[in-house]
Structure 1
Amino acid sequence: MTSSVGKWPRRLALGWLLVVALILGHNGYLWLVQKIVPDTDILALLPVEQRDPVLQRAFTHMVDSAQQRVIVLVGADDWGQARAAADAYSAVIAKHPALFAAKSPISEQTQNDWLGPLKQNRLNLLTPEQQKLLQEKPPTFWMDTALRQLYSPFAGPKLGAWQDDPFGLFSGWVQARAQETPVRPRDGYLFVEANGRQYIMLLLTLRQSAYSMATQQAVLPLMDAAAGVARSKVPGVELISAGVILHAGAASAQASGEMSTIGVGSLLGVVLLMWLTFGALRPVGLIVLSITIGCLGAFSICWLIFGHVHLLTLVFGASLIGVAQDYGIYFLCSRAGSDKTMTSWQLLRRLLPGLMLTLTAAVIGYIGLALTPFPGLRQMAMFSVTGLVFAWLTVICWFPTLVQASTLKGTRFADWCGASRRYWPQLRLNRGTMLVAVVYGIVVVAGLARLRVNDDIRSLQTPPKVLLQDQIKLSKILDAPTPVQFYLVRGASTEQVLQREETLRQKLDPLIEQRVISGYQAMSNWTPSIRLQKANRALIERGLFGTDGPLQGLAAQIGEDHHWVTQIKARALALPAVAESGANTLTPEAFLKTATSEPSRYLWLGKIPDTNGDTYASIVALRGVNNYANLPLLKNIAGLVEGVQWVDKVSEVSTVLGDYRRYMSSVLIGAYVAIYLLLFMRYRYAGWRVILPPALASVATLAVLGLTGQPLQMFHMLALMLILGLGVDYGIFLLEKTDQKDPAGRFAWLAVCLSAVSALLSFGLLALSGTPPLHAFGFTMLVGIAIVWLIAPCFSQIDQNPTLKKGQ
């Protein structure tokens, strides 16, 4: 019998070793072979029924078109200096083709190639102003216009022979398109003039992901080197840079800096704490081992279930299973304080009820997240639950074998820390308790009255001032469209989408005059609908080339005869007419194959499979959206045109975060109720002694947020979930009686102190972070865990009989 009992722990440890080997193998395959990356799509966090495939495609399209580009403006007082600096900058970049895609210089031939396909359809292309003039102005107006085009040197650029466009309609249409951006070609570069300076615009396209740390580490120093060379060439040069990689690199650098200070500092603090307590580093390794196995096991399970793991799940799931350290700390402290003649497996049997209770309580809290309709919260819940279970099983299966009575040494620090419990007062119904309750109530009421909520994603971002200033400068100089607010236009066909775009443009034109926006970019600006192209051609043929048109009078004024009139008319009308089927028209699909379309390609989404069948979609981008007070007006316009949807990515993400915060608040309240019912089953009416400390600490933490002016966000709620899990553990440790030789519960209190200080070092120090989400999470943990640690022993029963009775 003794032999079989001795084999059982070994078999359990070996069985768990096999499970851990499978976990390591699966993680190794995912990370090293498949080279997976966490999902970063914020829309993946939305419920399935709320996900819009067309909207998802639009978001992805906009993000993909922007995140791989870096724009550098090279500015100087004159063109020669700007070009010299740009040449120097470009020469450095050109030496690294593996990082940046090559960009061909803009030659005169390139510009002609851009216009070639458009010239073939020039009779179909008119601006709204030209349409109005053709309908209202007499033939003499157009005769004068043609003469100005022929003789005046200030009539604007000539695009081909005068005979091809005598009335300047196509030239005017091209000029209107050029007004969508102040950027112009010159000497092989794109340039813009602003604030009395010449700026050359360098468009750099990354070959690798902007979010890759390897790409950031290679690209950012290279850009700094290129800037240094440009400044040495032209000392007074101004360099303005903008791009996703710059912000991602700044965030990575900030995170790395904080990890090297906060992370290393907290790690050294935990190591020192364990050394002072146990006189060895082995306990630190064991606790880290249990948490690591928990994280790896949770990742494998989530990947097998969901097929992907979101970045938020990794970041906060790993933090949530930080409660797993309590299992190892509780066992180690109990081992250090128990009878040396007792084996570790015998000790485990005594600890098992309390350990199972702590695990069950934590799982109950996180299961509540799994019941929400949000995939992101469900994934976090699965990650946390499985992570806790894997960490708990590591403690159960391995710690009794790896830790014996002789493994841990007693230290003076451990004795002093355990004995300090006697300094905490016990909760009594007396004047002191009433006074503390009144003060607590006043602080809570004052704090909660000032607490406000802010789910705006912009409040979670703190880019460096230099990057922010450059972004603002560049946006003003280039008058670039915003990538986060735009219109999404849908239809059953390409034609319907273009027609709806044209209706939307009619609604937006008055806003340009009112300076609500400075302009917009739309595919229908370049490729009008078939209906409009037909109308444009008919208007030109009737108004300019008809029998009573201005062509006859123009010929008389320049001394040409009827033969010339016939030739010009034949030359123009030889262009293919628009067929009923839509043939011979300029379509988005044909336009996108031309070089001209390159700056506008992000506007066309094309055919997208939808739940209701194939849908065609496009984007209408806005320029000059600087006043957030105008966003409701822009949103209302979308409701005036069928098939048009206002998309505000900032608002969309903020809404997701707000929904998560509200659901987590409900789950948190439900978790307190469910955990109390669980505690009642074991401790009866003494269960309130376990649940009340974290509840009081959480309410006090919310009050502190209100008093310090910090708005409530989702990341505060995540921390409150962790405070509940840790606080319940502390109460259970203090209420459990596992050793008759320790009636004062010194080693249970030692476990609470170690867990609380470890949590404060691991999570509370994040309050020093300059990253708003980490600061919010860390500050909440710092205040909440400190309060739980301070008041938990006041609710315990160290002076009572170990057997808890009903009514205690």
Structure 2
Amino acid sequence: MNRKSLTLVWALVVCLLLGHNAYLWLVKRIAPDTDILALLPLQERDPVLQRSFAHMIESAQQRVIVLVGARGWNDAMRAADAYTDVLKNEPDAISLSQVTDQMQGDWLAQFRKHAAVLLTSAQEEQLRSQPPQFWLDTARAGLYGMFSGPKVGAWQDDPFGLLGGWVQERARETPVRPRDGRLAVSNADRHYVLLPMMLNVPAFSMSAQETVLPLLDHAAQAARHAVPTADIIASGVVLHTAAAGEQAAREVSLIGAGSLVGIALLTWLAFRSIKPIGLVLLSIGIGCLGALSICWILFGRIHLLTLVFGASLIGVAQDYGIYFLCHRLNADERLDSVALLRKLLPGLGLTLLAAVIGYAGLALTPFPGLRQMALFSALGLIFAWLTVVCWFPSLIAGGRLRGGVLVMKYGALLKSWPPRCAGHGKFLVAGLLLLGMLLAAGLSRLDANDDIRQLQNPPRHLVEDQMKLNKLLDAASPVQFFLVRGISTEEVLQREEALKHRLDPLIADGKISGYQAMSNWVPSVRTQEERKSLLEEKLYQPGGPLAKLARETGEDGAWVERTRDRLLKTTGVLTVDDFLKTPASEPWRHLWLGNVDGEVAGIVALRGLHVTEFGTLKQVARDLPGVQWVDKVDEISSVLGRYRQYMMLVLLGAYAVVFLVLSLRYRFAAWRVLGPVALASIATLAMLGFFGQDLQLFHVLALMLLLGVGVDYGIFMQEHPGRDSTVPWLAVGLSAANTILSFGLLALSHTPALHAFGLTMLIGILLVWITVPCFGKRRADDMQPWRQQ
């Protein structure tokens, strides 16, 4: 294909990319995905364990919990009413749960049918140990006493107060209480109205952030207008998602704009012309268009963090254009651009291949988000490279570009770096020994820490609200719990009961404040039968406490038989399926997984959990069949640790692959190309140790990319192994400066993963830039001045 045809074909490709991007943004009106969970690893896991975590997260991510408080209960109700009045205007976006007297009555009616099998552990122990007189006294207190405990119906329906005691224990699973038709919770200073809400739009969608967040802000303003001293505490996944999205959007603008301004300024200083600036930006722009189009076609979405990371692509994609422009700057006027490109093509091809190998390392990770970032970046580089190859020779037909002041001053630096004395035997040995000692000292200080919490940096006010809410509601943790499984529902319920028997002493010792389990509401069939037998033996047998109670209250034998039959004979088996169909089960449905891949599973969630007790809780489940302690934070952290080690091996493999590719062209001089980036990578790790940075996966991923980018500078210098031309030194300087600017801004990101990535790249690229001349061959008289137009 001739040059003109190649130019036209690429023009057609660019037109298609422009059309597709216009369709995506203007017609389809795409919105970047902000689901932070996309960064989590995909792996072949135990399907039941995986489903348990997804089940807990799904039950929480659509919820928004708001507490509206004031010092007085009446003020709290007025503020809450003002808050809910605003929400009623947008019923399609968010639904508010309400509590009515009818709902409470229906809730109790479901359990009166099964009163005989709903006993607390304390009641069971009392039935086994207490004499009949104890139960007579209990019944008398319920009949005649003013403060005899909770009543859930007529005294005749529950003469011994067993159902009332069970209801009271269930109520202690949460400090929330119904009050004046509202849900209420209090502390020493304030009364709060609890407003549980459900989003009617996906929590991670842009529509949720564009609709729900302003709605909640407006509602909070209305509440404070009604009661200026009102305290609003809000918690929900959508709040954290919106904060992350807003932060990422700011960083996209900062990183992208900063990189473009830096490239434009440096290009102007180097070439004293607008045209080179336009050409470099043209290649970068086409790279971004191509990357976005293909990623959208392949993934069907684009993650916002991909765009943040892709903004740093600007600092890499410009390498190819700058490499060509720098050689055009000092080329013979008789050498046209097509011939110049043909001469430079091997070096350009190697730089692209090395960079793609670096990004391929990112694509090997089990993180969907990182795979998308890797593909986006690799595609962007390929499209930018093709733009240089297909268009630059035609757009700069011949002649030489003019060099600016920067060209002369910067080019002169190569004469004095590295110092000539550094190559002498004594100085070289001493320098290498000192360098080795510094590297060893830094590496010895480097510790690894893969805690997933290092990758989270939510706004302070959201963290504080979450802590207040957890303390007020005594909420159970969604990421630490017991997973209980078995071959049937009955087996799971029995295993939950065995687990709870071990947890009760921990509650008594104050190590946890309580637990939530399906077996709290639906005992196993075995337990239900045992409880009926126990009641028959201790309370309802002829001449027992029930019969004596009848004589004391003037009831006849028929009343005894009716009461006994109602409580024992007419009560069917309470099943999980029956319970899950009732409104009372709604707050607890997340505790039951049901059948998952042929196994039945349930969750026992813990309240008042503290990290210092995790070891004790793990021991609790050690020898219980079918019971597993799940700490999702620890699991993900361990996965990050394993993949950090795995990626270190991949990095070493990538070095081997790149060395083999370089050896095909440079033979025994390949070490001179790869040496600077290898030394810079080791030195970067040492500096992280000196800075007190803990090594994590994203540092290693950055080192993988550093290989792909940094080896370009070795290639630039090795394509001209002597010092007879400083063109490659200028190309290295401009490319490194722009890359440092891009990744330097990335290091300022408040997203911890991007900060770690950017900091590593910032240090690494700077070190490659400084050390790459040290690995080149040097002759005493090979320096020539720049030719100026």
Relative to the length of structure 2, the TM-score reads 0.91
1:617 is matched with 601
1:580 is matched with none
Matches within 5 A, 1:208-223: 208-223=201-216
Question: Displacement, 1:324?
Answer: 3.4
Question: Displacement, 1:481?
Answer: 0.2
Per-residue Cα deviation, 1:87-124 (whole angstroms, up to 9, x for no partner):
122222222223211433x1211100112222222222
How far, CA to CA, are the matches of 2:239 and 2:48 in structure 1? 29
- Comparing 438-447 and 450-459, the one that deviates more: 438-447
How far, CA to CA, are the matches of 2:633 and 2:203 in structure 1? 20
1:782 is matched with 762
Q: Is the contact between residue 744 and residue 798 of structure 1 (CA under 8 Å) also seen in structure 2?
A: no
The one-letter amino acid paired with 1:633 is T
Per-residue Cα deviation, 1:641-695 (whole angstroms, up to 9, x for no partner):
2222222111122122212211221122222233223323322232222111111
Q: Is the contact between residue 736 and residue 769 of structure 2 (CA under 8 Å) also seen in structure 1?
A: yes
Matches within 5 A, 1:284-363: 284-291=277-284, 293-294=286-287, 297=290, 323-363=316-356
Question: Displacement, 1:542?
Answer: 3.1
The one-letter amino acid paired with 2:605 is A
Question: Displacement, 1:518?
Answer: 1.0
The one-letter amino acid paired with 2:600 is Y
How far, CA to CA, are the matches of 1:318 and 1:466 in structure 2? 29
How far, CA to CA, are the matches of 1:356 and 1:699 in structure 2? 27
Per-residue Cα deviation, 1:324-346 (whole angstroms, up to 9, x for no partner):
33222212222233223332221
Equivalent residue for 1:536, pick from 506, 531, 539: 531
1:773 matched to 2:731? The reply is no
Q: Is the contact between residue 259 and residue 315 of structure 2 (CA under 8 Å) also seen in structure 1?
A: no
Question: Displacement, 1:547?
Answer: 1.5
Q: Is the contact between residue 314 and residue 742 of structure 2 (CA under 8 Å) also seen in structure 1?
A: no
Would the alpha carbon gap of residues 366 and 216 (structure 1) be closer, same or farther in structure 2, given more than 3 Å must change? closer
Matches within 5 A, 1:638-649: 638-649=621-632
Would the alpha carbon gap of residues 180 and 282 (structure 1) be closer, same or farther in structure 2, given more than 3 Å must change? farther
Would the alpha carbon gap of residues 89 and 771 (structure 1) be closer, same or farther in structure 2, given more than 3 Å must change? same
1:559 is matched with 554
Matches within 5 A, 1:296-445: 297=290, 323-367=316-360, 385-405=378-398, 409-425=402-418, 428-445=423-440
- What are structure 2's unaligned runs of at least 5 residues? 783-789
Q: Is the contact between residue 32 and residue 303 of structure 2 (CA under 8 Å) also seen in structure 1?
A: no
- Comparing 176-185 and 95-104, the one that deviates more: 95-104
Q: Is the contact between residue 321 and residue 388 of structure 1 (CA under 8 Å) also seen in structure 2?
A: no
Q: Secondary structure of 1:677's partner? A: helix
2:775 is matched with 795
The one-letter amino acid paired with 1:396 is V
Equivalent residue for 1:187, pick from 180, 186, 189: 180
2:132 is matched with 139
Q: Is the contact between residue 361 and residue 704 of structure 2 (CA under 8 Å) also seen in structure 1?
A: no
How far, CA to CA, are the matches of 1:537 and 1:407 in structure 2? 99
Q: Is the contact between residue 515 and residue 606 of structure 2 (CA under 8 Å) also seen in structure 1?
A: yes
How far, CA to CA, are the matches of 2:309 and 2:39 in structure 1? 18
Question: Displacement, 1:445?
Answer: 1.7
The one-letter amino acid paired with 1:149 is G
How far, CA to CA, are the matches of 2:567 and 2:345 in structure 1? 92
Q: Secondary structure of 1:11's partner? A: helix
Matches within 5 A, 1:88-103: 88-103=82-97
Equivalent residue for 1:150, pick from 143, 148, 152: 143
How far, CA to CA, are the matches of 2:42 and 2:424 in structure 1? 49
Question: Displacement, 1:64?
Answer: 1.8
Q: Is the contact between residue 88 and residue 229 of structure 1 (CA under 8 Å) also seen in structure 2?
A: yes
1:501 is matched with 496
Equivalent residue for 1:470, pick from 461, 465, 473: 465
Q: Secondary structure of 1:763's partner? A: helix
Relative to the length of structure 1, the TM-score reads 0.89
1:15 matched to 2:19? The reply is no
- Comparing 768-777 and 378-387, the one that deviates more: 378-387
How far, CA to CA, are the matches of 1:348 and 1:61 in structure 2? 57
1:243 matched to 2:236? The reply is yes
1:455 matched to 2:454? The reply is no
1:658 matched to 2:645? The reply is no
- Comparing 787-796 and 473-482, the one that deviates more: 787-796
Q: Is the contact between residue 354 and residue 709 of structure 2 (CA under 8 Å) also seen in structure 1?
A: no
Per-residue Cα deviation, 1:420-453 (whole angstroms, up to 9, x for no partner):
3223226623444334323322321221111111
Q: Is the contact between residue 517 and residue 625 of structure 1 (CA under 8 Å) also seen in structure 2?
A: yes
The one-letter amino acid paired with 2:162 is L
How far, CA to CA, are the matches of 1:499 and 1:234 in structure 2? 50
Equivalent residue for 2:71, pick from 73, 77, 91: 77
- Comparing 278-287 and 75-84, the one that deviates more: 278-287
The one-letter amino acid paired with 1:727 is G
Question: Displacement, 1:455?
Answer: 0.6
2:49 is matched with 55
Question: Displacement, 1:199?
Answer: 1.6
Q: Is the contact between residue 40 and residue 367 of structure 2 (CA under 8 Å) also seen in structure 1?
A: no
2:730 is matched with 750
Would the alpha carbon gap of residues 21 and 597 (structure 1) be closer, same or farther in structure 2, given more than 3 Å must change? farther
How far, CA to CA, are the matches of 2:39 and 2:466 in structure 1? 26
Q: Is the contact between residue 146 and residue 166 of structure 1 (CA under 8 Å) also seen in structure 2?
A: yes
1:704 is matched with 687
1:737 is matched with 720
Per-residue Cα deviation, 1:202-235 (whole angstroms, up to 9, x for no partner):
1122222333344324433433332233223223
Would the alpha carbon gap of residues 361 and 424 (structure 1) be closer, same or farther in structure 2, given more than 3 Å must change? same
Question: Displacement, 1:149?
Answer: 1.4
How far, CA to CA, are the matches of 2:9 and 2:166 in structure 1? 76
1:684 is matched with 667
Q: Is the contact between residue 444 and residue 700 of structure 1 (CA under 8 Å) also seen in structure 2?
A: yes
Would the alpha carbon gap of residues 311 and 606 (structure 1) be closer, same or farther in structure 2, given more than 3 Å must change? farther
Per-residue Cα deviation, 1:313-368 (whole angstroms, up to 9, x for no partner):
77657757964332222122222332233322211110111112222333444555
Would the alpha carbon gap of residues 226 and 302 (structure 1) be closer, same or farther in structure 2, given more than 3 Å must change? closer
Q: Is the contact between residue 71 and residue 203 of structure 1 (CA under 8 Å) also seen in structure 2?
A: yes
Question: Displacement, 1:281?
Answer: 4.6
The one-letter amino acid paired with 2:466 is Q
1:521 matched to 2:477? The reply is no
How far, CA to CA, are the matches of 2:49 and 2:292 in structure 1? 29
Q: Secondary structure of 1:734's partner? A: helix
How far, CA to CA, are the matches of 2:358 and 2:459 in structure 1? 38
1:160 matched to 2:153? The reply is yes
Would the alpha carbon gap of residues 26 and 486 (structure 1) be closer, same or farther in structure 2, given more than 3 Å must change? farther
How far, CA to CA, are the matches of 1:76 and 1:199 in structure 2? 7
1:226 matched to 2:219? The reply is yes
How far, CA to CA, are the matches of 2:476 and 2:485 in structure 1? 20
Would the alpha carbon gap of residues 36 and 63 (structure 1) be closer, same or farther in structure 2, given more than 3 Å must change? farther
Would the alpha carbon gap of residues 22 and 266 (structure 1) be closer, same or farther in structure 2, given more than 3 Å must change? closer
Would the alpha carbon gap of residues 190 and 262 (structure 1) be closer, same or farther in structure 2, given more than 3 Å must change? same
How far, CA to CA, are the matches of 1:373 and 1:391 in structure 2? 27
Q: Secondary structure of 1:101's partner? A: strand
**CA RMSD, 1 decimal:** 3.1
How far, CA to CA, are the matches of 1:439 and 1:522 in structure 2? 62
Question: Displacement, 1:288?
Answer: 4.5
How far, CA to CA, are the matches of 1:373 and 1:767 in structure 2? 23
1:490 matched to 2:485? The reply is yes
Aligned pair count? Answer: 778
Would the alpha carbon gap of residues 686 and 305 (structure 1) be closer, same or farther in structure 2, given more than 3 Å must change? same
